Amino acid sequence: MAFKNNKIDNVGGGITADLIHVDSPLSPFYDPSLTRFQRVTDSLRHSLLRHRSIRSNDLKSSSLTSPAPEASLAPVSGYYLMKIQLGNPPIDLLGIADTGSDLTWTQCAPCSDCYKQKTPIFDPKKSKTYDTVSCKSQECQSLRYEHPSCDNATDGCHYELTYAGGSYTSGDLATETLTFDQNLSFPKVAFGCGHHNYGDNLGTSSGIVGLGGGPVSIIRQLKKYYSIDAKISYCLPPPNSNVSSKINFGSNAVVSGPKVMSTPLVKREHDTFHYVTFDGISIGNNKLSFKSKKTVTVEEGNMFIDTGSTYTFLSDQFYFKFLFALEKALNGTPTANPEGGFEVCYEKPVNGKFNSPTITSHFRGGVDLVLSPEGIFVEANKGVVCLAILPSYSTDLLVFGNSQMINYLIGIDLENQKVDFLPTNDCTNPN
């Protein structure tokens, strides 16, 4: 693929990559020995760890902690994998697609402190296009939350980062050739080459694919260096489906049609997160308007879109208001989940069908998202269904998780500062 003045020649700026849920039978990480209940428990654990870590760091910076040496790696569920290739010759990477992260990173040889990953660890010495980044470079200077430091002997830029959920990586900031589905290759894309990593909530993935709004995210780098529009779109199929889907960049990421709903993106201090304004939620025809504790009106940009979290988190005050209304509308028998973790659970009827009222999430701009029943109540144990919306215990951290994004084509458009939603029943052909 040819480049002219750092612009793509003959593809119109459109890029596509594979996207698949880690728990899908099509996933290379699928573990048939796990029951569907174990997967739900693992995804809950993953979301809670992630949420607690972000909340404790107040969305501003990461407080670094040393990784546990040779820590065991528990199975983790609940996220979507994105397939890309790195290096020349290229090797496959299967990283977690994360709209709540900027830096794309993978484990690199030599790797003295690493977790076990499914794919081979990237070896910089085997690539013709690998290059370390100088401390004085623009890439190094643009690091904000990755705690950059300098090797005075080599002038190499180092990073250290504790990710949401406790995952840790440190290593060299480097540039490398990044390749997508259509054999589109982009040289000199900055990424983290991690030599010391810990990933109790990363499963056996290759690392993280950063899809945030900060300067080192893939979205921003493709825009800055290759004039690819700063847009992505994706459609998330249910976790257990035999369907993979695509994540699109640039001109391929345009979401269009008469049923498209749009809500503004809101700029806040932390530019990694894609903030939107959550207005409330409806249970059937009963609409509950959201009001923050701090203000009489809705705070702008009070929720962020997070593909890395399985579940949605609401502020505790509003959550329990929602819960009270939901329990009045339900005809179910409350019970406890033997595994714990979920706030609200019900007995599953003997006929196997748990009937929930229609749940609609409301966002600024008249966006009304009817949430998929699969994303509202999950069967957490045999005969037990649990509410997949959780209390945040922080009015500053509302999260729209991937379970509630199911069966929508979602476009995050940094060019026009908006998020588009298009309902679909087919993630293989959403438009």
Active site residues: 98, 306
Phi and psi torsions of 241, nearest 5°: -80, 155
Is the sign of the CA dihedral 19, 25, 31, 36 positive or negative? positive
- Which residue bears the tokens 């706030």? 343
- Which residue bears the tokens 């904000």? 144
Distance, in Å, from the CA atom of 431 to the CA atom of 429, rounded to the nearest integer, reads 6
Residue 338: which residues within 8 A CB-CB, separation 6 or more? 381, 384
Most distant pair of Cα atoms in the chain: their distance: 69
Tell me the Cα Rg of the chain.
21
Contact 173, 192 (CB under 8 A): yes
Phi and psi torsions of 315, nearest 5°: -60, 145
Cα 22–399–374 angle (5° rounding)? Answer: 50
| Cis amide prior to 110 (ω within 30 degrees) | yes
